[in-house]
Structure formats: C-alpha cells, structure tokens
C-alpha cells in the first residue's frame, strides 16, 4: 500500500486506496468483518461512513473493536437516521443526537474526520456556516471528538467557498474525467445527465481545476467519491464519453489530481477490495488513462497538462508531470507558495536541466508544449 498525508490532521497517513461504505451495507456482521479484515490486511486504513444506518454502525463498531487506532474513520455530521431511513439535515439537535449515536455504535470516543454531509448549494453552505453546524464541528474538534473538519460536495464553487473559510481540513469531492469537464451546478444530477455531454466538451472545467489547486496549496486533503461514476465510467454504453475506462485508469486519474490523497472505492466484496488494491501493482499501460482521454473525438483535453506522466521518460530525468503541477499551482497563486517551493526543491531534477530535446512532446497525447513549460518553470522557481 502507499500512503499520503492528511496535512491538517497531524499529518495522519491514509492509504491511497480507501473504502466507501455502500458495499458494506446489508451485510451480516461476519461478512462485514471479513471484508474489513481483508482490506486492512492489504494495508487499507481509511474508510468513509456516510451512512447513518444503525446496522452499518453496529457492524462497523464490532469489526473495529480492539483495533480502533489502526483505522482512520471519516464519519458524516448532518446525516441522521429517522423513521427507518437516511435523512440529510442541518437541524442542530438532530445533528448532535446523530453524532453521539455514531460514536456510541462505533464504540469509540472520536472520529478522525467529522464530515459535514453533502453541501452543493450556496444557500445550504450559508446555512451550514451560519446556522451552527460549523460552530458545532469546531466544538467537537476542540473537545477532541473529531480530529479534523471535513465537508462533502459535488459543486466546485461551493466547495471552494467552504475551503476558503480556512475551517475545512478535508474535502470529499466527486472526481472523474467526465465530471471534471462539467461546469459547476447546484444539482449533482447534472454531472451524469446525458444531455450535458451530447455536444462534446473541451478541456477540464476551470472551477474544478482551481478547486484542486487551492486544496493542494492549502493542505486541504481531497478524498474522492464517484471515481468510477457509479460504475458508468467502466462501461462504453453508460460512460458519458462513450468509451470505457478500466478501474485502474479511473483510480490513477483521481490520484494524479492536485490535492487528492485517497480514492474511496465502493467495494461490495472481498474480491472487489482485492481488485481495487491491485491498482498498486498494475502495469503502467493498464493505469494510463491518457490513452483513453486523448483518443476521444467529441471530448478534448488538448493543450493542458493532465499530469498523466505519459511523456516519461525525460532524457535528463525531469518529472515533467510534477514540474507542470508545481508550476500551475504557483501561476494560479500569482507567487510560489512556500510548500510548493519545498516540493519543487525535493525533485531530483529541475526544469532548468531541460535540454529541449522534445522527446516528451512527441510522447504527450495532449499536445502540451513541454519545453515552453520547463522554461517558464525555471524562470518562476529560479532553477
Ligand atoms: S506533459 Fe503531457 S504527457 Fe506529460 S504529464 Fe502532462 S499531459 Fe501527460
Ligand atoms: S524536452 Fe526537456 S523535459 Fe522534455 S524530455 Fe527533453 S529534456 Fe526532458
């Protein structure tokens, strides 16, 4: 397993492949534990628990008994169980009762991340920020009942405003190559509405790109939901692009977006867990999403670095994807943030070493003018 840090959560290390909870629903306690055992055996140490379902929480509590410190739990605040079903609420009394129920059933006295559940509209964000939810989260954090405050969203503009408050440590966001082309919307159904793809699309949506860059700069960790678009991305018939990606390509796409630390894979069985984790051993050709993205007719990503790494190897060993990422982060900020400068410094080879051989440009499926980018990076970083 490979791990990345939750920078605003004491640099807690979380597995790149993490678990969503939907595949654990309606399982017996034994089946639940068997799936979690296998995942943890494979090095998975991070799980999202958006559901307030009592049976899920009881099963989870039983499955983690005696090893609470071995797993990073992301539980949702404002998702409660009412009349036998899930309810999203901003009602503070219900929210507080739901949180205490969560801790009690899990048999723990803290969550690593308390995630404000599903905020997609400006008005809902205002309510969450002004109606007491964020104040409650801060109280929980001060009391050690949550270690970090999170927020989940499908809307890059709302998510950005939330991150800009400075109160959000972790963002759960819907990421895949198709959604990344769509403009912001307060209705998440727009992300998979066929009408919104029928005329083709050009380039990654600038609000989404700006959100990922902001999170990377601010140390806000993104954990990904909908990496497979609910499975649609894996089917040529259902994918908005009309071509199928494989699981590895979807995961690699997400993990190469700035700010992303983990993909919450929605595994329904031990075999699906093994398949998701096998991404780490998959050959490069099977992970290379650029091959699919660059061959689509109606959808074009030309001209912008997608951080896919397809241009490697560089003649002098520069990691072109990393240099481009740090360059874009700095250009978006209008200066070189200290953390980005540090990351750049740690690279083994720097942009100034580029000999303009253009081998990378011949390999790049997206027509990126890499030599120009290296010159710009050498100017911006000074070497
Ligand atoms: S320059 Fe091209 S091939 Fe290299 S990482 Fe960027 S998009 Fe991929
Ligand atoms: S042009 Fe520069 S960055 Fe590209 S392969 Fe050659 S040396 Fe590396």
- Which residue has the CA at smallest separation from atom 7 of ligand 1? 305
Residues 162-186 pLDDT 10s: 999 999 999 999 999 988 988 888 8
| Atom of ligand 1 at shortest range from CA of 321 | 5
Q: Distance, CA 202 to ligand 1 centroid (Å)? A: 17
Q: Distance, CA 317 to ligand 2 centroid (Å)? A: 8
- Which residue has the CA at smallest separation from atom 2 of ligand 1? 364
Q: Are residues 96 and 33 in the same domain?
A: yes
pLDDT value of residue 317: 96
Q: Are residues 84 and 179 in the same domain?
A: yes
Q: Which residue of 317, 353, 354 sits with most ligand 2 atoms within 8 Å of its CB, as the best mutation to test the pocket? A: 354
Inside any domain, residue 294:
no
Q: Are residues 284 and 348 in the same domain?
A: no
Q: Is the pLDDT of residue 199 over 80?
A: no
Residues 20-54 pLDDT 10s: 998 999 999 999 999 999 999 999 999 999 999 99
| Atom of ligand 1 at shortest range from CA of 301 | 7
Per-residue DSSP letter, 378: H
Number of domains in the chain: 2
Ligand nearest to C-alpha 204: 1
Q: Are residues 200 and 338 in the same domain?
A: no
pLDDT value of residue 85: 93
Residues 306-321 pLDDT 10s: 898 989 999 999 999 9
Residues 57-69 pLDDT 10s: 999 999 999 999 9
Q: Distance, CA 78 to ligand 1 centroid (Å)? A: 40
Residues 77-116 pLDDT 10s: 999 999 999 999 999 999 999 999 999 999 999 999 999 9
Q: Are residues 283 and 330 in the same domain?
A: no
Q: Distance, CA 255 to ligand 1 centroid (Å)? A: 15
Q: Are residues 216 and 358 in the same domain?
A: no
Q: Distance, CA 105 to ligand 2 centroid (Å)? A: 55
pLDDT value of residue 12: 93
Q: Distance, CA 213 to ligand 1 centroid (Å)? A: 17
Protein residues with CB under 6 Å of any ligand 1 atom: 290, 305-311, 320-321, 324, 364, 366, 368, 370
230 band by pLDDT with thresholds 50, 70 and 90? confident
pLDDT value of residue 245: 93
pLDDT value of residue 358: 95
Q: Which residue of 284, 306, 309, 323 sits with most ligand 1 atoms within 8 Å of its CB, as the best mutation to test the pocket? A: 306
Can you tell me the distance from the alpha carbon of 10 to that of 343, in angstroms, rounded to the nearest whole number?
19
Q: Are residues 357 and 262 in the same domain?
A: no
Domain around 140: 3-288
Query: And the tokens for 256?
Result: 């190469």
Proportion of the chain in helix, strand, coil states, percent, rounded to 5? 45, 15, 40
pLDDT value of residue 124: 93
Inside any domain, residue 99:
yes
| Atom of ligand 2 at shortest range from CA of 371 | 1
pLDDT value of residue 194: 79
Q: Are residues 79 and 185 in the same domain?
A: yes
Assess whether the C-beta atom of 320 lies below 6 angstroms from ligand 2: yes
The domain spanning residue 125 has which CATH number? 3.20.20.100
Residues 325-343 pLDDT 10s: 999 899 888 899 898 999 9
Can you tell me the distance from the alpha carbon of 362 to that of 284, in angstroms, rounded to the nearest whole number?
18
- With contact defined as beta carbons under 8 Å apart, do 147 and 12 qualify? yes
Can you tell me the distance from the alpha carbon of 269 to that of 17, in angstroms, rounded to the nearest whole number?
15
Q: Which residue of 356, 364, 373, 378 sits with most ligand 2 atoms within 8 Å of its CB, as the best mutation to test the pocket? A: 356
Q: Distance, CA 100 to ligand 1 centroid (Å)? A: 47
Where is 217: in which H helix or E strand?
helix 206-218
Q: Between 99 and 238, whose confidence is greater?
A: 99
Inside any domain, residue 313:
no
Inside any domain, residue 183:
yes
Q: What is the largest CA-CA distance in the chain?
A: 67
| Domain stop point among 288, 304, 339 | 288
Q: Distance, CA 301 to ligand 2 centroid (Å)? A: 21
Q: Distance, CA 315 to ligand 2 centroid (Å)? A: 6
- Which residue has the CA at smallest separation from atom 6 of ligand 1? 305
pTM for this entry: 0.90
**Mean pLDDT for all residues in the chain:** 93
Residue (of 215, 214, 198, 156) closest to 180 by Cα position: 156
Residues 131-153 pLDDT 10s: 899 999 999 999 999 999 999 99
Q: Are residues 31 and 152 in the same domain?
A: yes
Q: Which residues contact 337 (CB under 8 A, 6 or more apart)?
A: 217, 329, 330
Inside any domain, residue 298:
no
The beta-strand segments (E) located in the chain are: 3-6, 12-15, 17-19, 46-49, 72-77, 79-82, 85-88, 111-116, 146-153, 170-174, 201-202, 221-225, 260-265, 299-300
Q: Is the pLDDT of residue 215 over 80?
A: yes
């Amino acid at each position: 397993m490979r791990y990345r840090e939750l920078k605003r959560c004491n640099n807690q290390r979380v597995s790149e492949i993490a678990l969503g909870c939907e595949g654990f629903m309606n399982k017996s306690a034994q089946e639940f534990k068997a799936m979690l055992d296998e995942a943890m055996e494979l090095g998975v140490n991070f799980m999202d628990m958006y559901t307030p379902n009592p049976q899920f929480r009881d099963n989870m509590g039983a499955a983690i008994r005696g090893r609470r410190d071995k797993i990073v739990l992301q539980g949702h605040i404002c998702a409660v169980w009412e009349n036998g079903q899930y309810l999203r609420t901003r009602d503070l009394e219900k929210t507080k009762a739901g949180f205490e129920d969560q801790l009690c059933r899990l048999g723990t006295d803290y969550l690593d991340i308390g995630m404000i559940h599903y905020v997609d509209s400006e008005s809902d964000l205002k309510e969450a920020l002004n109606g007491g939810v964020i104040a409650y989260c801060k109280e929980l954090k001060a009391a050690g009942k949550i270690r970090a405050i999170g927020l989940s969203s499908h809307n890059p503009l709302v998510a950005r405003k939330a991150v800009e408050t400075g109160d959000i440590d972790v963002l759960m966001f819907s990421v895949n190559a198709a959604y990344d082309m769509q403009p912001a919307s307060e209705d998440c159904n727009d992300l998979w509405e066929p009408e919104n793809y029928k005329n083709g699309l050009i380039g990654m949506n600038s609000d989404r790109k700006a959100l990922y860059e902001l999170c990377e700069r601010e140390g806000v960790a993104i954990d990904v939901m909908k990496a497979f678009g609910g499975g649609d991305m894996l089917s040529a018939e259902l994918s908005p692009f009309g071509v199928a990606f494989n699981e590895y390509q979807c995961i690699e796409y997400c993990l190469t977006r700035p700010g992303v630390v983990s993909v919450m894979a929605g595994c329904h069985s031990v075999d699906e867990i093994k398949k998701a984790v096998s991404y780490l051993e998959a050959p490069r050709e099977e992970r290379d999403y650029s091959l699919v993205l660059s061959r689509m007719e109606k959808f074009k990503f030309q001209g912008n670095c997608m951080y896919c790494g397809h241009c490697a190897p560089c003649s002098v060993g520069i990691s072109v994807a990393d240099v481009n990422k740090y360059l874009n982060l700095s250009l978006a900020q209008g200066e070189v943030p200290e953390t980005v400068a540090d990351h750049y410094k740690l690279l083994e080879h720097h942009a100034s070493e580029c000999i303009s051989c253009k081998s990378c440009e011949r390999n790049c499926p997206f027509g990126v003018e890499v030599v120009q980018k290296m010159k710009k990076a050498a100017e911006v970083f000074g070497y």
